[in-house]
Every structure is written in structure tokens, then in C-alpha cells.
Amino acid sequence: MGEAGGLREKVLKVMRSPGYRPRNKGELARDLELRADLRADLRSELTALEREGVIVRGKKARYRLREQEQNLLSGILRFQPKGSAWFYPDPHDPANLASGIDLERFGRIHVGARKTSVALDGDRVALRVERLGPPVWWKHARHKRQSLELPGAENQATGRVERILQRRSGVVVGTLMERKGFVYVQPDDESLPSTIELNSAGGGQSGQKVAVRLLEWDSRQTAPRGEVSEVLGWPDEAGVDIRGIILRHGLREGFPEEVQAEAKKVSSTIHPEVLEQRSDWREKLVLTIDPDDARDFDDAICVRKIEDEWELAVHIADVAHYVKPGTALDLEARQRGNSTYLVDRVLPMLPEELSNGICSLVPSEDRLTRCVIMRFDRQGRMTRTRFEEAVICSRSRLTYGEAQEMLERGAGGGDSSRREIAEALTMCWELAKMLRQRRFEQGALDLDFPEVRMELDASGRPTGYRREDYNESHQLIEEFMLAANEAVARAVKNAERPAIYRVHEEPDHDKLFEFAELARTHGYEPGDLVNRKHIQKLLRACRGEPEEHSIKLGLLKSLKRASYREEPLGHYGLSKTDYCHFTSPIRRYADLVIHRTLEPLLENSPGGGHGGATQVQCREISDHISTTERTSASAETESHRLKMLEWLFLAVDDFDPPIFEAVITDVRRIGLMVEVIEILQRGLIKRDDFPAGDWRLESHRMRYVTARGDELVLGQIVSVRVTRVNMERQQVDFVLSGE
């Protein structure tokens, strides 16, 4: 037992010895003079050390310490549509930090399509850095700062994947094929080899969709071997497409038995002793405002005027009261990181007994909350805050549509209860409007987008869409949640409590330079975008214009991605020095951690306060949930895009196909890139599909013209209908409709 117990230390000692050369398992076993019955322990230890990134396996399965590998970084790989990828190095990995590479400057590294080895999207990989900074030719180019061929080249880096450290899921989805006794799978992902070899069909039939777990794959030039882990069904069966997305992204579905058992033990009633310790808000006018199809309600609001000041109370579901650190519920929620909202279902972070039950702030039921009470003066400045445990009984569950209607119509009409709610909403909007104006004066960027939701029938087939514009009812809730998040972040920072912050770092100037070129092609003079006032001016100028969405999307792509960090580094987009996520603990683990962190700062704290995470734990959790958030966002986007494309595919054969207004976003030799304004869908009008005429491309003017004076120019609004949809490549072709 003792010999096996010290095996790790012995292995590392051998590898650190002077003159060590990489050895395989057998050679290491001989060096260590291991008994035969300990060979299995050695294999397990080597696998664990490799998974932890301490050692690496090189050619011919020989092992060495990772610290002996120069220019090798560990991190996450994210694929792009055409097969290349971006590598995001882990900023906290000791070997990464010891590499001497500036991980802030080279926060992402480009990996060419031929250098991704056998990685899949989302895998954790070891990357060999091949180049830091611009290529040699660029250094000698004239006017390199103005070079349009390679914007941002100063901060560019390239690399190649050396090995896979950990698969995100290791699952590939494809079509099962059986020909002349040979069974294989054609993967949906075009970046993979066209064939995955199988030993058996795993119970599936030729033509069905299956999930395959990869077993052997050495090179992109060779066919992988795999085994069928699940038969999904026929391609047109309900739910098969979404199930494939879930498996490919490695998302967690049902809850383990021990988690379910803990959830069932949670009482659906509140003990009287618990109520005695809490502030009682049950008689006050507390409201929730959420989307039509919301199933869990995290937040509720209550606003009143006190002399010359406003008092805003933001009540958030007290998930921390029910989910204690270290329990099976807590560990599962931490592993999931967040809920995932696919187009046809929700994969919740917490079991339904909590997420839709006792934690959800449903109307006319007593519910426990953590409350942030803020005072604002007449200029919208936050003058004081306090935090407390509370109990509420929500007066009304409003949808955004209902709240918007009340704001537009005012307090007239309806019964006394409805008038009271309408008056309260009007008061809420007065405060929210002031907070919003103040936020933009301080430099926040208006990057709100309308939301397009697909509508499905019982079999999962898309029947249409619902567009939700970002109006006053949405803005009202957003401002109140931002204020609460900021107040909590400031309090835990000042109290020097370990916490998880929501961080959005300042953008690279080179990325802003790229974006400025995009704005110029649309006819705007962006000015100096390093100055956020110039960005705000540009956003105001394009508001309400056809190209607004394209410009906002271009800006969003030029900014860094928000993430979770254990340090309060500020939020660039919101222009806030202190910011965290506090308002959605039912669906985000970061918020649950903050609730526990805040506990000693509550005015009626139950005492103890031992539930908060340590600084090291906050760092580990931040890294993990930043990754789960990206994975969920990728799956959510893919599921929505899939159903949108399916709806457009069905529209091609409609007797009366829908006609859309689209804006021309780019002019190329192949034709016109357009974006359908109503459904935010991009596509192509091919040159071959233009109306009859002698169309001539004038690249310098970004337009096509004819001798008759007909014109198709960047920024122009045109009527289009869908003509072709390639589901595999996720491409849509449109054709001009009418004049």
C-alpha cells in the first residue's frame, strides 16, 4: 500500500532527474523497479498526471514533465466555421505563467485548419506556440499600422495543437451507414474526416442519426474509430437534432439519484421560525416581470418614493438557504455552472423542485429572498444601500408585454389592483429612465439587441417566430438588476470578501481599428474609437437605421468576451468599476457564490457566515463557469440557428413564401451579402440570381450597377425571399423579390 501511495512522487522524481529522456510506461516501470501487480497503479497515475497537465505524452507514448516543454500552453480550443480555430490559454495555469508569454496580450492564439490535430470544439489541449506577433513580411511592410491586410497583427500569434489533454465530450454526431457489410458513420461536422469506422451498428439502422464516442484517432488524414453510444433516431424524428447538440456539447441532462433525493427532501413550505428572522415584505407591492415563457422567477422589485429620494428594493430568490456548500445539489450545480436554454427545452442548473418550485418567486406564495435596498437621490445617484433576508408574497407576475402595455396606457382603466400596479410601474420607469440616462452619461455602451424566438409545434417542427424588441419594460428590469449587481459587488469588495466578479476588459485598440473600417464602409466617420464617447456617438448615429444590427454586431465582435474572475477588474461595456452577478442564483452558479459571500453583510444575518468560498476556490470556480457559459451559449445559438434554418428550408416550398426586407451588408464578386432585418438572418444573393441585366461590379463604390442606372449598393434595403437552404453548411441563399 505504501509503495503504491508514494508512486506519484517517485514518477515525478525520475522525470526531474538530470539527463532524463522521455520514457514509455514499460520503461518507467523498469526504472522504478515496480512489481507486476503495481503496473496498473502506474497506468492510473500517469493518466491522472496527464489529465492534470503535470506531464505530457509525446511521440511513441513517451512521457515527460510539461514544464520541460518550451512554448507549450494549455487551454481551450474553439473552432470557426471553416475549420480553423482559436486557442484560449488558461490564465491561471502555472506552466502557462512560467512560459514567459504575455497571456494578456496573447489572450487568444490562431490555429490553422491543418494544425488542429485531432481536437474537437471545446477540448482542452496542449498548444505549441509557433509565432508571437506579426509575421516577418509584415514587420518590413510600409505603413504597417495602416495595413488592412492584417489588422491587429502586433497581437497576433499562431500555434499548432500537440495533444488533447481533456475532451469536452468526445462525442461526434452523424449518420449511420451500412454498405456491403461495412458499418461506418458520416459525421455532420464537415471539419472531421468523412468516415468514422465502427465495429458494430450498436443497434442502429442505416440512415439513422447516432452519437459516436471516439476511441482511436491519430491524425486528421486517417479515419477515426469509434463506438455508437446512443441511437438518436431518424433525421426527421422530433427532438433528434437537439439531442445531437446536447451530446456533442457534453451538456448534462437528468440529475443523479443523490441530487434528486436531496431535492425531494427540500420542504415546499416555509417553517415559521425561518419567517421570524426575516424582514416581512408580504404586504408591500412586490412584482415580477419576465418573458412570456419563463418558468423560473429569480427576481422581484418594489419601488417607493421617500421625500426627495427613491427607494428600490430588488428581491432575489434565496437559493443559498436551500442549497448548502458541499451537498450533492451544490456540487452538481457547480459542475453545470449555469442553466442552458435550448430552443425547445431548458437544461436547468437545479432540479425542478427548486428551480420551478420553492425557489421560484411565483405570485401569491410566500417565498424567501435576499434583498438589496438602495436609495437614489433626484439625480439618480446611489446614496446608500443595505442588505437583508426577507420574505415576500409577489402581488403579480407580469410578462414584458403586459408591463409594456401598462407603461404605454398609464394607470387609467381596470380594477383598483391593476391601477395600483400600473401606477407602480410608471414610478419604476421614472427611476429606471434616470438610471439609464446616467449610465450612458458615464460611458456605458448601448448594445441591446432585439430577440427572435422560434415557435415550435408539438413535434419540434418550427412553425414561425416571435420577435421581442428591447423596449421600456425590458430596460426597466435591466437597470434595476444592474444597480443591485453593482451595489453587491461594491459591498463585498469593500469588505474584502473573496468573491466572483463579472469582468469585461477594455478592447484591443487593433480590434477597434478593424471595427472602424467596417463603420466607414457603411458611410460613418467613427472618429477615435479608443475614446468610448466616439463609440457612443457612432451607436447613436446608427440607431433606427437598417445597418444598426450589423454595426452593433461588428462592435460586439471587436470587444473582449465578458467572463468571471476572482478580481474586480471592472466592466467596460457597462462602464462600471465594480460589478458581479447576484440576481439569478436559480440559473447561474456565480450568483449563488455571491449570495454566500454576502451573508455576513446582511443586516439580519443568521450568523455563521462559513458558506463563503475561499480566494483559491473563487479562482477555480471562475475558470470553470466561464467555460460552461461559453459551452451553453454555443449550444443555445446552434439550436436556435438550426430551427431558423429548418423554418426557412420549409419556406422554400411554400405556395406563398414569406417576403422579407433585408439590408445589403457587403458587396462581393460572388454577389451580395444581406441581413434580413426582421429575423436577423444573414445570407447571400448570388450574382447568378440577380435580375436580368448587364450588372457591373464597382468595388470602390461597394455597388453593382447597370447601364440603365439600376443599382444595388451597400446599405440599401431590398425585398428578398429565400431560395435555397444548405442545412449541412448552414448557408441561406436569397433572391430579390419584386422591383
Same domain, 435 and 450: yes
Share of the chain above pLDDT 70, in %: 94
Q: Which residues contact 674 (CB under 8 A, 6 or more apart)?
A: 662, 663, 664, 665, 682, 683, 684, 685, 718, 720, 734
Residues 465 and 578 in one domain: yes
> Are residues 321 and 374 located together in one domain of the fold?
yes
Please measure the distance between the N-terminal and C-terminal CA atoms of the chain and give it in whole angstroms.
Answer: 84
Q: Do 571 and 481 belong together in one domain?
A: yes
Asked if residue 414 and residue 330 are part of one domain, the reply reads yes
Task: Please tell me the distance from the alpha carbon of residue 333 to that of residue 588, in angstroms, as a whole number.
Answer: 8
109: exposed, middle or buried (Cβ count in 10 Å: 0-12, 13-18, 19+):
buried
> Is residue 463 within a helix (H) or strand (E), and if so which, with residue range?
strand 462-468
- Whether the per-residue pLDDT at 2 is higher than 70: the answer is no
543 and 525 co-located in one domain: yes
Nearest C-alpha neighbor of 450 from the set 468, 465, 463, 437: 468
Whether pLDDT at 1 is above 50? no
- The average pLDDT across 508-514 equals 85
Give the integer Cα–Cα distance in Å for 210 and 223: 17
Provide DSSP, 352-402: HIIIIIITS--BTSEEEEEEEEEEE-TT--EEEEEEEEEEEEBSEEEEHHH
Residue 219 lies in a domain: yes
The CATH number assigned to the domain holding 16 equals 1.10.10.10
Helix (H, G, I), strand (E, B) or coil at 52: coil
CB 685 within 8 A of CB 720: yes
- Residue 486: band (very low, low, confident or very high) from pLDDT cuts 50, 70, 90: very high
DSSP code, position 23: B
Residue 293: per-residue pLDDT? 84
Confidence (pLDDT) at 92? 84
C-beta of residue 708 within 8 angstroms of C-beta of residue 693: yes
Confidence at residue 149, expressed as pLDDT on a 0 to 100 scale: 40
Instruction: Out of 147-161, 382-396, 633-647, pick the least confident.
Output: 147-161
Domain termination site, one of 214, 248, 282: 248
**Model confidence pLDDT, tens digit, residues 42-101:** 888 888 887 777 887 776 778 888 766 666 899 999 998 778 999 999 988 888 888 778
Residue 141's pLDDT band (boundaries 50, 70, 90)? low
56 is a domain residue:
yes
Within a domain: residue 466? yes
Tally Cβ neighbours within 10 Å of residue 633.
14
User: Between residues 210 and 155, which one has the greater pLDDT?
Assistant: 210
Tell me how far apart the alpha carbons of residues 289 and 114 are, in angstroms, rounded to a whole number: 49
Band of residue 510 on the pLDDT scale cut at 50, 70, 90: confident
Instruction: Give the closest residue to 535 by CA, choosing from 569, 575, 479, 577.
Output: 575
Among 191-195, 488-492, 725-729, top mean pLDDT goes to 488-492
What CATH number should be reported for the domain holding residue 237? 2.40.50.640
Report which of 38, 49, 30, 36 is spatially closest to residue 4, judged by C-alpha positions: 38
Question: What is the C-alpha to C-alpha distance for residues 332 and 56, in angstroms, rounded to an integer?
Answer: 29
CA dihedral (702, 706, 708, 710) positive or negative: negative
Write down the pLDDT at residue 739.
Answer: 54
Nearest alpha carbon to residue 521 among 543, 536, 542: 542
Strand partners, 196: 185
Average pLDDT on 600-613 reads: 79
Question: For the chain, what is the mean pLDDT?
Answer: 90
Radius of gyration of the chain (CA): 28
Q: Residue 612: its pLDDT value, please?
A: 85
The residues that bridge with 367 in the sheet, in sequence order, are: 392
Residue 339 within any structural domain of the chain: yes
Instruction: Kindly state whether residues 400 and 534 are assigned to the same domain.
Output: no
Q: What is the pLDDT of residues 688-719, one digit of tens each?
A: 999 998 999 999 899 999 999 999 999 999 99
Answer yes or no: is 648 within a domain: no
Q: What is the pLDDT of residue 710?
A: 92
pLDDT tens, 579-591?
999 999 999 999 9
User: What secondary structure does DSSP assign to 193-226, as a single string?
Assistant: -S-EEES--TT--TT-EEEEEEEE---TTS--EE
Same domain, residue pair 497 and 567: yes
Let me know if residue 536 belongs to a domain. Answer: yes
DSSP 660-703: EEEEEEEE-SSEEEEEETTTTEEEEEEGGGSPSS--EEEGGGTE
Higher pLDDT, 157 or 482: 482
Q: What is the pLDDT of residues 317-329, one digit of tens each?
A: 999 999 999 999 9
Reported as a single tens digit per residue, the pLDDT across 107-134 is 889 999 999 999 999 999 999 988 877 7
Is the pTM for the entire model greater than 0.95? Answer: no
- DSSP-based three-state secondary structure for 172: strand
Cell readout for 165 is 489533454
Q: Which domain holds residue 720?
A: 653-736
Domain count, the chain: 6
Whether 476 is covered by a domain: the verdict is yes
pLDDT score at 565: 95
Band (147; pLDDT cuts 50, 70, 90): very low
Task: Kindly indicate the confidence band of residue 628, based on its pLDDT and cuts at 50, 70 and 90.
Answer: very high
- In a shared domain, residues 181 and 323: no
Q: What is the pLDDT of residue 191?
A: 80
- Of 224, 248, 272, the residue at which a domain comes to its end is 248
Same domain, 346 and 492: yes
Asked if the structure places residue 117 within a domain, the reply is yes
Query: Residue 143: what pLDDT?
Result: 44
The neighbour count for residue 365, using CB atoms within 10 Å, is: 15
Confidence of residue 347 (pLDDT cuts 50, 70, 90): very high
Whether residues 324 and 204 fall in one domain: no
Pick from 132, 166, 200: which residue ends a domain? 166
Per-residue pLDDT at 441: 95
Look at residue 146 and tell me whether its pLDDT is greater than 50: no
- Assign residue 677 the CATH number of its domain: 2.40.50.140
Position 262, amino acid = E
Same domain, yes or no: 633 and 543: no
What angle do helix axes 472-494 and 416-441 make, rounded to 10 degrees? 60
